[in-house]
Amino acid sequence: MAREKDKKKVRTFPASIEAERSVLGAFMIDPSAVNDNITQLSTDDFSTQPNKSIFDAMRELFMESHPIDIVSVADKMRLMGTLAEAGDVPYISGIAASIPSAAGCKYYVQILKRDGLLRKLLQASKDISEDVYTSEDGDESLSFAQQRILQVTQSIGQSSLVRAGTVADEVIREIEEHHANPDSSVGLLTGFSNLDHRLQGLQRSDLMIIAARPGVGKTAFALNIATNIAQREPDKNILIFTLEMANGQLVRRMLCSLTGIKNDSISRSNLEMQEFVKLNQARQALWKSHIYIDQTAMQTPSDILAKCRRFMIENNCNIDLIIIDYMQLMTCPGKESRQQEVAEISRNMKLLAKEINVPVIVLSQLSRNAEMKSEKPQLHDLRDSGSIEQDADIVSFLYKEKGQDPDNSIVEFIVAKFRNGKTGSLAFEWHGSTFTFVPTDNERLQYVKKAPPKGSEGDNKSEDEGGRPAEDGGSEE
């Protein structure tokens, strides 16, 4: 009896020819069934080539705003060269004749989508199995398996080929929405008004590099973006990979910027009751947010990609922003030189942005020569590899003139490369004691003191040899 029950549980190949014919037949006899359901389906939702060809013809007719019936479908298939392989006109007319009404079309569409998904999973499992039998690297096989499953997840309800006209409709709609509301943005707003005006938000699949000398504030700048987004849209999923700092250090900086409480006061536990109230409010805000931190050191691009895939699969959700701090601490084994290694890391960061379809912010150091000179950084100052400039959609620098108060100074945010817009500089106030950047008027950049500190060694004690502010003065790095 047990064996008989087990046999009953075994399913045949996931396909329902009857449901497929019912959907195609409903499309030919009821225009409302077409309007309500055809955009939910793709060719892969049909299991046989004749049914795939018929659906392709129907979709073409729908996109051209032509009626869908036996005559129009047969004519379109004749033009596409697929009529003969589908069984000619008798097969098409037989489908239409066998459907008395389109009443169950919506339910049949769900059957098609279910079976289509199961077929994709079957194919993915076959690909994974074949890879396992031939692979010599377990980590690579795991990465391949995650990639195939993620591809299936992302393909649900989507077609790999999209008509340019369909995309044009979406683009025009976005342009109209932006025209109606100039303050809106198609990208993810950083919370910095001047930066959002310049970039029009962070765009999906874009790789943004933020480079600076040690102590200028690149980690704090990225964390400010994360907390700004989380405060405005707490449901956004933000993943932060820190290869240098512990997660406790990052969260402390977030608490300082959210509350305005100085890091020195927290370190010394010199807090008043009102400040404890602010800290608890900030803690609640972080609990409501969807910010996730990974503090694993010496990660490879494959490690980060695998963790992002796993996050999306386990939580059945998308990622809205990825922050990596910082590029030069990543590894990529098997390369002959550090330059080749960083080039491979840079390329993989762009591939990460494209595969996950998310803006990726990667922090980077400048070359040693750039750290030693007092001039503003340029693209060739990126450390270890010129490929960073090539791969990135946006390359930016944080630059602070020497001689300023390390806790309260004007920092220049230089957009040195912007693939889809204009380059230029933006001004920010840096409040080191609370790890906070505040947008300010660009005219203030003209009045920043250009000369070194006044002269005595005592005036220079707030920075170390690399320009790093002292710890109790709000060091960024």
- Mark whether 331 and 387 lie in a shared domain: yes
Q: What is the pLDDT of residue 185?
A: 53
**What parts of the chain have a pLDDT lower than 50?**
1, 157, 159, 451-477
- Mark whether 354 and 424 lie in a shared domain: yes
Q: What is the pLDDT of residue 97?
A: 82
Identify whether 6 is part of a domain: no
Quick check: 346 and 388 in contact, CB under 8 A?
yes
Identify whether 1 is part of a domain: no
Q: pLDDT digit string (tens) for 85-119? A: 877 888 888 888 887 777 888 888 888 888 888 88
Q: Are strands 394-399 and 408-418 parallel, antiparallel or unpaired?
A: antiparallel
Quick check: 475 and 432 in contact, CB under 8 A?
yes
How far is it, in rounded angstroms, from Cα 379 to Cα 386? 8
Q: What is the pLDDT of residue 400?
A: 87
State which residues form the domain around 144.
11-161
Quick check: 33 and 103 in contact, CB under 8 A?
no
- Provide the CATH number for the domain around residue 127: 1.10.860.10
- Mark whether 199 and 155 lie in a shared domain: no
How far is it, in rounded angstroms, from Cα 8 to Cα 5? 5
Identify whether 86 is part of a domain: yes
Q: What is the pLDDT of residue 454?
A: 43
Query: Angle at the Cα of 26 (from 21 to 29), degrees rounded to 5?
Result: 125
Please give the tally of structural domains in the chain.
2
Residue of 275, 274, 258, 431 whose CA lies nearest to 266: 275
Identify whether 2 is part of a domain: no
Q: pLDDT digit string (tens) for 379-436? A: 877 765 567 777 889 999 998 887 777 778 888 999 988 988 888 889 998 888 889 8
- Mark whether 444 and 308 lie in a shared domain: yes
- Mark whether 325 and 402 lie in a shared domain: yes
Identify whether 171 is part of a domain: no
Q: What is the pLDDT of residue 359?
A: 93
Q: What is the pLDDT of residue 477?
A: 47
- Mark whether 204 and 239 lie in a shared domain: yes
Q: pLDDT digit string (tens) for 47-60? A: 888 889 999 888 88
- Mark whether 215 and 269 lie in a shared domain: yes
- Taking the CA atoms of the chain, what radius of gyration do you get in angstroms? 28
- Mark whether 132 and 19 lie in a shared domain: yes
Q: What is the pLDDT of residue 157?
A: 47
- Mark whether 141 and 198 lie in a shared domain: no
Identify whether 462 is part of a domain: yes
Q: What is the pLDDT of residue 455?
A: 44
Identify whether 131 is part of a domain: yes
